[in-house]
Amino acid sequence: MGAGIGAGLVAVGAGMGIGRIGGSAAEAIARQPEASGKIQGAVILTAAFIEGVALFGVVVCLLIALA
Amino acid sequence: MSFTGTKFFKSLFAGLAIVAATTVPVWASEGAAGKEEKFEPGHLILHHVVDAHDWHFATIGGHHYTLYLPVIVYKPGQGLEVFSSSHLHHHAEGATAEAASHASAHTEHGETDAVDNGHSLAGKIVHNGYYLDENDKLQRTDEATFYDFSITKNVASMFISVALLFIVFFSIAGAYKKRGVGRPSGLQSMLEPIIVFVRDEIAKPNIGPKHERYLPYLLTVFFFIWFNNLLGLLPGGANLTGNIAVTLTLAVLTFLITTFSGNKAYWQHVFNTPGVPWWLKFPVPLMPAVEFIGLFTKPVSLMIRLFANITAGHIIILSLLSLIFIFESYAVGIVSSIFVVAMTFMELLVALIQAYVFTLLTSMYFGGAVADHDHDHAHDHDHAQEYEHEFGQVEAAKASTGV
Amino acid sequence: MNLVTPGLGLIFWQTLTFLIVLFVLSRFAWKPILSTIKKREDEIDEALKAAQHARQEMAKLQASNENLLKEARAERDKMMREAQQTANAIVGEAQEKARTEGNRLMEDARNSIQAEKAAALAEIRNQVAELSLSIAEKILKEKLANDAAQQALVNSYIQEAQSSLN
């Protein structure tokens, strides 16, 4: 139960984070299409950070669930 | 060069031969057929993502296809001991051998039954006083201290990845020597862009003019992580980069290199951060404390990120597969399989991205350690220059005025 | 084996293996690969620079050629102009000479014609006088051949004279 709620919260947080990145990236590319390569790199990197945090949460939840 | 190369290969093969000699592949029935076990997804998943003393590929019709790896233990006062992990498992004659090996363990080391009776060793096979507990961890019946240096599944997988790394990069190095500055071809032309990417997009912008010193480490880390991530995705593959010991070692190496290449400006930044109000430093060294803790949280985050990403990927794939066996339905099987295929593609991407992120952050930490001048101003300056490079003078003017 | 507890054995093997891999790859793979890539990049840079240099040289050469051509053209034009002028001068001179010569010839001709004319006129005048004398003589001879005529003439003269005396 706790693990489920935790995983849900993690998903909400990660979703918001990645959504914000995607939105800002789309805006940035629209504003400066010539910089899209650089923006894409930054997007992947930041998304990876958020994913890392989210997966950390997921692993903790899994440990709770599996324990 | 070629002499040292062959010599190296000889010693490598000698080492592999020793490992192979103590490795016992057993393709035998365990006699467990017919005994319906309850399916436990949690146990299955955990079993797949953690390390093991044997390399279990598949169980088909009651046959366990397993590679038994050598167990290497060091017990103070008793020295090094090497034996196959097949002695610790139920196999061919397992059921009957249990009692015998049990007995032999005691007779060999003269242990008393009293010690044994203190533990619940039911169903465990003891060899030389060692047995595997429920979590597949090696334990001693007498609880004496020992150090487990076994060639586990992960270590064996790592050896395979290392052999692959050597084969790939030696052949590429050979191609470079043969073709010289000529047009690259084959494997060479496939990996050269990646090598150049690591150099030009990861090392150079983050470390600066001193990047060449760190390039071998960055390239090795990148390809080591990438290759092992990919090997882990193979069916039956070990979850090496999703093992916290491995990521810990890599993170510690990054930490050590960062710390030892830190220059005066780096340590000044840590203990007397410029551009911070004095009251954050003087009576209570708040800022130095934060910065000092930051030194350690950086490698810890590196360690956890790689571990969590790769392990979570494995867990998700295994969970999706477990669904099939939980519901025991063809419909779920089909849907699950599609999801697993999608996840596997995702994981292929993650394998590359995590290698990239680890290398990128490592080079950022190195860059921080070797940066010459004042941190904040240096950054502004660099950015201004970058913009000037990329988008021309107008943007440069904007960037430098902070618009 | 635990999920979040790092195992000592794996740390040991990982450290050992990774350091060996790092050393071996640095020495036998990264070093030749990176140096070759760098060398290739340098060579490409150099080739590009050389091409640029050659292009500049070519442009310079072309410019100098152009200059040379322009100069030659100017020289040629100048020479042509001079030749034209000389020719014009010669022609003019010749024309002038011809004209004066012609004028002189005309004048001479005119003078001689005038002299001839005068001579001819004088000749004609003499001849006319002679002719008229002889004609008059002949007429007179013919008119005064018989006595009656002579009488008549004398009578007329006398008549005339009488009338003039009256």
Q: Tell me the average pLDDT across B334-352.
A: 92
pLDDT-based confidence at residue B373 (cuts at 50, 70, 90): low
Which chain B residue lies closest to C37 (C-alpha atoms)?
B181
pLDDT in tens, C62-81: 999 999 999 999 999 999 99
Amino acid, res. B259: T
pLDDT-based confidence at residue B65 (cuts at 50, 70, 90): confident
What is the structure's pLDDT at B90?
Answer: 67
Measured CA to CA in angstroms, residue B29 lies from B22, B37, B59, B94, B126 at distances of: 21, 16, 9, 10, 20
Sketch the domain layout of chain A as residue ranges.
2-66
pLDDT-based confidence at residue B386 (cuts at 50, 70, 90): very low
Chains with 3 or more CB pairs under 8 A to chain C: A, B
- Chain A CB contacts of C3 under 8 Å are 59, 63
Measured CA to CA in angstroms, residue A56 lies from B13, B242, B301, B306, C2 at distances of: 39, 12, 10, 10, 16
What is the structure's pLDDT at B382?
Answer: 47
Q: How far is B104 from chain A (nearest CA, A)?
A: 35
- C45 CB near a chain B CB, below 8 Å? no
Could you say which DSSP state residue B143 is in? -
What is the structure's pLDDT at C152?
Answer: 83
Could you say which DSSP state residue C160 is in? H
Q: Tell me the average pLDDT across C18-33.
A: 93
Question: Number of C-alpha atoms within 13 angstroms, CB side, residue C160?
Answer: 6
User: Is residue B19's pLDDT more than 60?
Assistant: no
User: A39's torsion region: left (phi>0), alpha (psi -120 to 50) or beta?
Assistant: alpha
pLDDT in tens, B109-119: 434 343 443 44
- A52 CB near a chain B CB, below 8 Å? yes
- B295 closest CA partner among B334, B244, B344, B258: B258
Percentage, residues of chain B above pLDDT 90: 26
pLDDT in tens, B46-59: 888 888 888 888 88
- A37 CB near a chain B CB, below 8 Å? no
What is the structure's pLDDT at B355?
Answer: 94
Is the pTM higher than 0.90? The answer reads no
Q: B84 and B67 in contact (C-beta within 8 Å)?
A: no
Of residues B67 and C47, the one with the higher pLDDT is C47
CATH class of A2-66: mainly alpha
- Chain A CB contacts of B356 under 8 Å are 44, 48
Q: How far is A59 from chain C (nearest CA, A)?
A: 10
Provide the CA B145 distance to its chain's centre, in angstroms.
26
User: Is residue B102's pLDDT more than 80?
Assistant: no
pLDDT-based confidence at residue B17 (cuts at 50, 70, 90): low
pLDDT-based confidence at residue B21 (cuts at 50, 70, 90): low
Q: Counting runs of H as helices and runs of E as strands, what totals does chain C give?
A: 3, 0
User: Is residue B246's pLDDT more than 50?
Assistant: yes
User: Is residue B135's pLDDT more than 90?
Assistant: no
- Chain C CB contacts of A65 under 8 Å are none
What is the structure's pLDDT at C98?
Answer: 94
pLDDT in tens, B141-194: 888 888 888 888 999 999 999 999 999 999 999 998 888 888 888 888 899 999
Of residues B37 and B64, the one with the higher pLDDT is B64
Sketch the domain layout of chain C as residue ranges.
11-160
Interface with A, mutate which of B305, B346, B359 (most A CBs under 10 A): B305
What are the structure tokens assigned to C153, written together? 């003439």
Q: Tell me the average pLDDT across C80-86.
A: 95
Beta bridge partners of B138: B132
- B22 closest CA partner among B76, B94, B73: B73
Q: Tell me the average pLDDT across B358-384.
A: 71
pLDDT in tens, A24-34: 999 999 999 99
What is the structure's pLDDT at B39?
Answer: 78
Which chain B residue lies closest to A32 (C-alpha atoms)?
B391
- C16 CB near a chain B CB, below 8 Å? no
Q: Which of A49-58, C75-84, C87-96 has the lowest mean pLDDT?
A: A49-58
Amino acid, res. B327: F
Amino acid, res. B189: S
Measured CA to CA in angstroms, residue C152 lies from B321, C38, C135, C147, C158 at distances of: 186, 158, 21, 8, 10
Contact between B172 and C33 using a beta-carbon 8 Å cutoff: yes
What is the structure's pLDDT at B47?
Answer: 83
| Angle made by CA atoms B276, B278, B282, in degrees to the nearest 5 | 125
Contact between B357 and A45 using a beta-carbon 8 Å cutoff: yes
What is the structure's pLDDT at B105?
Answer: 43
Q: Which of A57-61, B262-266, C112-116 has the lowest mean pLDDT?
A: A57-61
- B207 CB near a chain C CB, below 8 Å? no
- B229 closest CA partner among B212, B247, B213, B217: B247
Q: How far is B343 from chain C (nearest CA, A)?
A: 22
- Residues in contact with B337: Cβ distance below 8 Å, sequence separation at least 6, in sequence order: B324
Mean pLDDT of chain C: 91
Q: Which of A29-38, B283-292, C118-127 has the lowest mean pLDDT?
A: B283-292
